[in-house]
Amino acid sequence: MLRLLVTLYVFIVVTVCDAQPKTTACAGKDSMHWAPTTLGCLHFNVYKSEGLTNNPTLVIVLHGDAPFNKPGYQYATAKIIAGQNKNTIAVGMLRPGYTDPDGNRSAGTRGLTTGDNYTPENINAIAEVIAYLKKLYHPSKTILAGHSGGSAITADIIGVQPLLVDDAVIVSCPCNVPQWRDFMSKKQPGYTAWRNAVSSISPNTVADKVDKHTKVVIISGSDDDVAPTQLSVDYYNQLKKRGIDCKLIQIPGEKHEILLHDTVFATIKTLIGH
């Protein structure tokens, strides 16, 4: 009887453990450039400022959907942030399924870059990397900045996991994914993938879950012809209605590719506050 109970207990424990998501260890990979997630290992580059303390500000940068190239501008952005600020660690992250110009590839699914990869799985994996970096660097504050599709994921994260980061900078955001995909399908009528069903989380559907202590700055170009600025305005109005500490900045005459604009760096510097 005792043996039967022990066997049953072991079976239950093993079954429960097997049912939990498994985080893959990054065997043979540098822990300062790779983080384990339930999807596999995601790549990032770290840039450190002068005057680091034991509790620096952590800034994490997410690139956009990059349909035509291998994204590396998240690294350039993070490097500039570290160079412009004190006591700051800035990290450029490579989103799931993407390959960077140096050949590093993050695990996961890139998709067709039609708003189809802001999925719960990809969002959770990015959140796991953020948690990994926070454990590694013990930041006094964590700021998540994203551009385009990366801004949609940033907005998703502050809605789905509202206590993970302190501040968010959301740049050129397709914050209503169905509306944005409809806009793009009309702009590119020959590309039918815009009309495919997707499982992405749209930021406007989780805006009511953003924590009221989170500071959010939304930046768009007034002439953005990829993610029209009205999508950012609508998302801002949603947050404002809930009493979220948020700010909307529209840069006159600018289009979609504005992550490296001085306004973005000035905004991040203000949030860092050093």
Write the burial class of residue 100 (CB in 10 Å: 0-12 exposed, 13-18 middle, 19+ buried): buried
**Domain boundaries of the chain, sorted by first residue:** 2-272
Residue 271, amino acid: L
The residue among 104, 257, 274, 95 whose CA lies nearest residue 171 is 257
Contact 32, 129 (CB under 8 A): no
Strand order in the sheet with 141-147: 34-37, 40-48, 88-93, 57-62, 141-147, 167-171, 215-221, 245-251
At 11 the pLDDT is 35
User: If DSSP codes are grouped into helix, strand and coil, which group holds residue 203?
Assistant: helix
Can you state the percent helix, strand and coil of the chain, rounding each to 5?
A: 40, 20, 40
| Cα gap 188→274, rounded to integer Å | 44
Instruction: List the pLDDT tens digit at each of the 274 positions of the chain.
Output: 433 333 433 333 333 333 334 455 787 788 889 999 999 999 999 999 988 999 999 999 999 999 999 999 999 999 999 999 999 999 999 999 999 999 999 999 999 999 999 999 999 999 999 999 999 999 999 999 999 999 999 999 999 999 999 999 999 999 999 999 999 999 999 999 999 999 999 999 999 999 999 999 999 999 999 999 999 999 999 999 999 999 999 999 999 999 999 999 999 999 999 6
What are the angstrom distances between the C-alpha of 232 and each of 74, 158, 252? Answer: 21, 15, 14
At 274 the pLDDT is 63
For residue 41 the two structure tokens come to 């290992």
Contact 96, 43 (CB under 8 A): no
For residue 11 the two structure tokens come to 């079976």
| Cα gap 145→267, rounded to integer Å | 10
At 69 the pLDDT is 95
Contacts of 92 (CB under 8 A, 6+ apart): 44, 45, 47, 61, 63, 74, 75, 76, 77, 78, 79
CATH of 2-272, one of 2.60.40.420, 3.30.930.10, 3.90.420.10, 3.40.50.1820: 3.40.50.1820
What pTM, to 2 d.p., does this model score?
Answer: 0.90
At 268 the pLDDT is 98
| Cα gap 91→47, rounded to integer Å | 6
| Cα gap 43→265, rounded to integer Å | 23
At 37 the pLDDT is 96
At 1 the pLDDT is 42
